[in-house]
A and B are shown apart, each in its own frame.
Chain A
Amino acid sequence: MISVLLFAGLAEKAGKQQIIIQKDQTTIDEIKIELQEVYGVDAAQNVMVAVNEIYTRGNAEVRSGDTVAFIPPVSGG
């Protein structure tokens, strides 16, 4: 399984902060499609992606045990 984390406005839109994907492997783009189709969350733009707490770019492959976080523009400070 792959754990998907949502934050701030994305979590509010989805109505949850964590989504579990029951697959051995998938890709960031596949997850984005699922977020859009199932949860109405647009993570295609203005969202950074971190896999296992490290920023990644592009359509990375992820595997069971990975944590994928969708990070909208940050506003700390």
Chain B
Amino acid sequence: MSELFKITKTPIDVNELIQHVTRRKAGAITTFIGTVREWTNGKKTLRLTYEAYIPMAERMLSQIGQEIKKRWPDTEAAIVHRVGTLEITDIAVAIAVSSPHRKAAYEANEYAIERIKEIVPIWKKEYWEDGEAWIGDQLETVSYPEGKPSDLQLAAKEGDQHD
């Protein structure tokens, strides 16, 4: 077991990710696998391109790992996000969390994907039959209404109250 919070240009190996959180203390491992969806709101996606500010993205993934440890003390997390061109059904992101009991593993895993969508500098460009566009703000909230991120988006390692 070793820390794994990384951006990769090659296909994600989920089993390898699981290995990173496997330990004798764990009684549960949850995995989340985010894949490229063909249809969104009636629009057909042909493929996606993901771009990242790689060193900072890895730093933020690692921060999410630390936030998880604070909120669910006995967990271990590993996260890999892919960049480059992805086809429909390809794996874009995979998250594995292990814990002694299943509840924490489920909760922490969901927390991880929500935080990725808030703070990790990764961008998705969708290609359709009739055009292309960078997609912003997957949470479908008003993004940075005051021209700056909210406390929640900035919440750092300590005292994070995100819920």
Listed in ascending order, the chain A residues whose CB lies under 8 Å from chain B are 5, 7-9, 12, 44-48, 50, 53, 55, 57-58, 69, 71-77
Contacts and interface: CB of A to CB of B under 8 A. Distances in A.
Q: Which of A9, A48, A58, A76 has the most CB of B within 10 A?
A: A76
Given A74-B122, A77-B116, A46 B136 contact: yes
Contacts of B50: 76
Contacts of B153: 48, 55
Interface residues of B, number: 35
11 contacts: A74-B136, A74-B137, A75-B122, A75-B134, A75-B135, A75-B138, A76-B52, A76-B81, A76-B124, A76-B138, A77-B113
Contacts of A44: 147
Q: Which of A8, A47, A72, A74 has the most CB of B within 10 A?
A: A74
Interface in B112-151: 113, 116-125, 134-138, 143-144, 147-149
Nearest to B122: A76
